[in-house]
Every structure is written in structure tokens, then in C-alpha cells.
């Protein structure tokens, strides 16, 4: 686990708001007036599912710090957080300049502590390195929300919002199983990101677990490096290694540009491809349906936005309205949904530019 703290989704992961929390709030907002029984979500156990969570409350000052926006996904993290904060008149967001310098990020948090903010939403460059200062903030009575890269101590954050790399692999593998419909001889290829990263290993593990569930294995596996050029090189060789392929999962939509270039230049189209992270151009291309790209699995870039919402709830002493229990949960792990042509319109607005 500690390994997961230090590294983390480096790039190209994407956005979408499937967290229970966000979904729940939106839903509650829509139904609060008079809840027509229509599709009656099972959640309505209480006689009147009314939530005042979005109503104006005491002003909450939230400090926000994240690594430098050096790839599309990370850029979307900060912009989604800002956009979320603007929806609430009672939230005052202070955004620190994104940095990959651990000591600078620590001093940003120290400044927030001195300023006596109510809450800090922190996507640390290195979870372990920021644990101590986050603990200090908690000790000072500040609500700390940890996003994406976990701290190494449970005392360093009130609530942690995480993506699910293993789940991405599972979603991709399960989708491919369904699409291949029990063809036991199917050739499935995998184009991973940087192999030494725990997140890549988690994704691959989830993928192979899901495939073995329907009797398939990864026939050919190559690793690129999250860059376009790495994706192109790995794929060009992969296509030579496997003259006939039924399905490909590519871990990362950024390197996917290169993957598609290689497929295009080899003139191959006997397979379908599933992407990873969910960039806007990948979703456009799924929507257009004019390439081998048939689906992508999402790694939400709205995690920090979720963190903002949860921080506000916690500081105002509210609970998540779609949960029966009181108090915002300790940890929220987001779902990695499969985006296909059918549901792409739902996800396109929250996709990030790679």
C-alpha cells in the first residue's frame, strides 16, 4: 500500500462524476421537491428523501493544493475543483500554485494552517512526504481531505477520495469478456503504461483477473511509457508479434494517440480496442465510431472536486444525504465505468483534454 502512496496516476486519467457522493447529491437535488415515484431509486428508504445539503450554510474557507498540471488529467483536476467551488456561494476556495516540489507543497500547507482555513483539499505530489504536515493541519483542527495519492497515516486526513486502478483493469477486462462472448480462443493484447509503477501493476492485475473470470488470458502484453511515441513504438511491434488480435486494452488515452497511429499505419482493423482514463478526443472518437476504438474506462479527474464537496459538508456538519448513516465516510473510492457509444454523451462533458 505504501507503494501506492508515492506514485500515482501520472497522466491521462479522466473525468466523470460517478462517485456515490456526487451522484447522490445531484439526485437528491432533483427529487427533493415532490419525488414522483417514477424510476424510484431504491435509496428512498426514508419517507421523504429531502436534503438541504446544497443550501447555503456558513462560509467555508478551503485551501487547495495539487501537483503541477503537467498532463491533461492533472490539469483537469484543478479546473474541476475550481468549477465545483464556484457552484457554492458559501465556499471560498484558495488555490495554491500547482507544484511537483514536495517542500514547496509542504510550505503551501503550512501557509493554509497559519491562515486558519476551515479545510484543506490536498492531492499530494508524494503522499508519504506530505503526511506529516497534513497531520499538523488535522491537529490544528482543520479538516483535511486527501485526494488520489494516499497519506501513510490514517490520522493525516479526515476523508480520502481515491480512484480505482485495479477497478479500471476489471472494468476493461469484463467489458472485453462480454464483447468476445465466450470465444475461448480469442487473442487479447494489453498495452500498459510505465511498468514499474504500482498503478500500472494494479491495472494489469485487475485486467488479468477479470479476463481469467471468463477463461481468457492476455496473449500479448507490451508496456509503453504514457507518451505518444512510446505507445506508437510498442504497438507497431505488438501488431507484428500478433498477426491476428481480437481485442486490445490500452491503459492510457494519452499514449493512445500513438497506439492508434500505429494501428492506422499498419492498416489493421480486425479487433476492437478499449482505452483507459477517458480523454475528450478518445470519447469523440468512440462517439464517431469510425475507428477500432470502441470503449474506454474512466479514471475520474473530478476527484478533487469531490474533495471540495465533501470538505464543505464536513465543515458544515452535514452528512451525505444518500447514506443512512451520519457523518461523511472516511474513504470514498470512485468507480471506473466503461464508456461506450451508448453512454458517451453522459461522460463527454467531464472528459479532459489530453
Partner 1 sequence: MSSQHVSAKPSPAGAGPQGAPTATRPRRTLLRGSSGRSIGLVLALVVLCVVGYVTGGERFASVDNLMTILRLAAALGVLSIGMTFVITGGGIDLSVGSVMGLATVWATTVATQTMAQDFHWIVMVLVALAVGTACGLINGVLIAYGKVVAFIATLAMMVGARGLAEMIANRQTQPVKVRAFLDFFRAEVLGIPALVWMFVLVAVAGWVLLNRTTFGRRTIAVGGNPEAARLAGVNVKRHTMYLYGLAGLAAGIAGVMMLVRTTAGSSTTGQLYELDAIAAVVVGGTLLVGGRGTIGGTVLGVLIFTTLTNVFTLNNMSISAQSVAKGVIIVVAVLLQQRFAARGRAT
| Residue 342, C-beta contacts closer than 8 angstroms, at least 6 positions apart | none
Angle between the N-to-C axes of helices 253-266 and 280-288, in degrees from 0 to 180, rounded to the nearest 10: 40
Q: Is 44 in the site for partner 1 (CB under 8 A)?
A: no
Element (H, E) at 171: helix 165-180
Compute φ and ψ for 27, nearest 5 degrees.
Answer: -60, -45
Among 100, 212, 237, 341, binds partner 1 (CB under 8 A): 237
Burial of 189 (0-12, 13-18, 19+ CB in 10 A): buried
Q: Is 217 in the site for partner 1 (CB under 8 A)?
A: no
Place of cell 484558495: 94
Task: Closer to partner 1 by CB, 137 or 282: give it.
Answer: 282
Q: How far apart are CA 313 and CA 210, in angstroms?
A: 36
Task: Closer to partner 1 by CB, 212 or 229: give it.
Answer: 229
Q: Is 262 in the site for partner 1 (CB under 8 A)?
A: yes
Nearest distance in Å: CB 256, partner 1 = 10
Q: Is 222 in the site for partner 1 (CB under 8 A)?
A: yes
Place of cell 436534503: 51
Q: Is 320 in the site for partner 1 (CB under 8 A)?
A: no
Task: Closer to partner 1 by CB, 92 or 225: give it.
Answer: 225
Task: Closer to partner 1 by CB, 70 or 342: give it.
Answer: 70
The DSSP code sequence of 320-335 is -TTSSSSS--SEEE--
Element (H, E) at 248: strand 247-250
- Residue 274 is classified by DSSP as E
Nearest distance in Å: CB 70, partner 1 = 5
Closest CA to 286 of 277, 180, 52: 277
Nearest distance in Å: CB 232, partner 1 = 5
Nearest distance in Å: CB 239, partner 1 = 8
Nearest distance in Å: CB 62, partner 1 = 26
Among 72, 127, 167, 206, binds partner 1 (CB under 8 A): 72
Among 26, 266, 288, 346, binds partner 1 (CB under 8 A): 266
Among 261, 287, 291, 323, binds partner 1 (CB under 8 A): 261
**How many Å separate Cα 159 from the centre of its chain?**
16
Nearest distance in Å: CB 344, partner 1 = 19
Among 100, 212, 265, 341, binds partner 1 (CB under 8 A): 265
- Residue 122 is classified by DSSP as E
C-alpha cell at 260: 492508434
Q: Contact letters (x/-) for partner 1, 290-309, by CB under 8 A? A: --------------------
**How many Å separate Cα 178 from the centre of its chain?**
23
Q: Is 238 in the site for partner 1 (CB under 8 A)?
A: yes
Q: How far apart are CA 239 and CA 217, in angstroms?
A: 17
Count of residues in contact with partner 1, rule CB under 8 A: 39
CB atoms within 10 A of CB 79: 16
The answer to whether the CB of 133 falls within 8 A of the CB of 109 is: yes
Nearest distance in Å: CB 198, partner 1 = 15
Among 5, 122, 199, 223, binds partner 1 (CB under 8 A): 223
Nearest distance in Å: CB 254, partner 1 = 7
Find the binding residues for partner 1 in span 98-127 (CB under 8 A): none
Residues lying near partner 1 in the complex (CB under 8 A): 69-72, 75, 195, 219-223, 225-229, 231-234, 236-241, 243, 254, 257-258, 260-262, 264-266, 281, 353-354
Amino acid at each position: 500500500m505504501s507503494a501506492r502512496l508515492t506514485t500515482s496516476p501520472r497522466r491521462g486519467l479522466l473525468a466523470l462524476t460517478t462517485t456515490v457522493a456526487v451522484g447522490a447529491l445531484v439526485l437528491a437535488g432533483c427529487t427533493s421537491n415532490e419525488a414522483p415515484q417514477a424510476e424510484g431509486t431504491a435509496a428512498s428508504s426514508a419517507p421523504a428523501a429531502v436534503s438541504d445539503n446544497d443550501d447555503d450554510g456558513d462560509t467555508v474557507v478551503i485551501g487547495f493544493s495539487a501537483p503541477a498540471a503537467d498532463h491533461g488529467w492533472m490539469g483537469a483536476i484543478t479546473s474541476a475543483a475550481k468549477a465545483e467551488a464556484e457552484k457554492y456561494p458559501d465556499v471560498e476556495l484558495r488555490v495554491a500554485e500547482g507544484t511537483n516540489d514536495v517542500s514547496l507543497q509542504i510550505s503551501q500547507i503550512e501557509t493554509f494552517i497559519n491562515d486558519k482555513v476551515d479545510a484543506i483539499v490536498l492531492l499530494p505530489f508524494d503522499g508519504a512526504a506530505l503526511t506529516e504536515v497534513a497531520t499538523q493541519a488535522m491537529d490544528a483542527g482543520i479538516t483535511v481531505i486527501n485526494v488520489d495519492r494516499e497519506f501513510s497515516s490514517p490520522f493525516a486526513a479526515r476523508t480520502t477520495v481515491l480512484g480505482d486502478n485495479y477497478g479500471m483493469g476489471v472494468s476493461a477486462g469484463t467489458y472485453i469478456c462480454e464483447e468476445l462472448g465466450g470465444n475461448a480462443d480469442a487473442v487479447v493484447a494489453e498495452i500498459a503504461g510505465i511498468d514499474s509503477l504500482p498503478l500500472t501493476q494494479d491495472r494489469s492485475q485487475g485486467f488479468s483477473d477479470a479476463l481469467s473470470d471468463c477463461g481468457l488470458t492476455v496473449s500479448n502484453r507490451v508496456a509503453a511509457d504514457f507518451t505518444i511515441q512510446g505507445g506508437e513504438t510498442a504497438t507497431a511491434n505488438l501488431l507484428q508479434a500478433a498477426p491476428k488480435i481480437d481485442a486490445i486494452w490500452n491503459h492510457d488515452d494519452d499514449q493512445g494517440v500513438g497506439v492508434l497511429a500505429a494501428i492506422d499505419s499498419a492498416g489493421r482493423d480486425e479487433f476492437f480496442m478499449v482505452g483507459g482514463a477517458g480523454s475528450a478526443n478518445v470519447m469523440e472518437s468512440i462517439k464517431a465510431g469510425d475507428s477500432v476504438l470502441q470503449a474506454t474506462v474512466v479514471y475520474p479527474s473530478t476527484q478533487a472536486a469531490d474533495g471540495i464537496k465533501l470538505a464543505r459538508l464536513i465543515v458544515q456538519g452535514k452528512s451525505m444525504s444518500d447514506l443512512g448513516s451520519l457523518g461523511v465516510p472516511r474513504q470514498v473510492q470512485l468507480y471506473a465505468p466503461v464508456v461506450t457509444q451508448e453512454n458517451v454523451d453522459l461522460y463527454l462533458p467531464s472528459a479532459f483534454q489530453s
